[in-house]
Amino acid sequence: MVDRKDLGSWLSGPDTSHLSKYPGERLGLPQSGPTSIARAGRRILALLIDWGLCSLISYFLFQGAALATLGIFLIEQVVLVGTLGYSIGHRVAGIQVVRQTQPGRPVFQPAGLLAGVVRGLLLCLLIPAVITDPDHRGLHDRAMNTVLVRR
């Protein structure tokens, strides 16, 4: 005969004891303030600013060709994120891309050109940026072991 104790393990729900309390806790980042994980609002604002600027440049140089806008966006991401650690939109939104060399110890330096290239290419595909982990890191950040934090 099936008893309630036999069913209790799945009726009580999943074990959540291993989950972090806030995004970035597993990475050793604070819950809020500078160096905390950048939330979706700031990320979307930065993306809209970057895309708008790239669209303006594309409009004046290439009559607004969509592929030209994407190419300009890729160049901006590679050059600025790879060298400075932030794009124009990131700077306005107050966020920055940093390297995560060891769990719990982010390095607050620019991600580097290789990270800029890989992140930029994956960001242009859009899907890797939409799929995120519990720490709000997209596949493009996980691929290069980077974190987008507040400045």
Q: Do 90 and 143 touch, CB atoms closer than 8 A?
A: no
Lowest mean pLDDT among 42-51, 53-62, 102-111, 114-123: 102-111
- 148 pairs with which residues across the strands? 97
What are the C-alpha distances in Å from 99 to residues 70, 93, 112?
25, 19, 9
Structure tokens that stand for 133 in this block: 């982990």
Query: Residue 71 is encoded by which pair of tokens?
Result: 């190419």
CA–CA gap between residue 112 and residue 118 (Å, rounded) = 10
Q: What is the pLDDT of residues 96-121, one digit of tens each?
A: 998 876 665 666 677 889 989 999 99
Starting at the edge strand found earlier in the chain, the sheet holding 105-107 runs: 105-107, 95-102, 146-150
- When pLDDT is averaged across residues 54-72 and rounded to a whole number, the result is 94
The confidence score (pLDDT) of residue 89 equals 96
pTM of the model: 0.81
Token output for 145: 């072991």
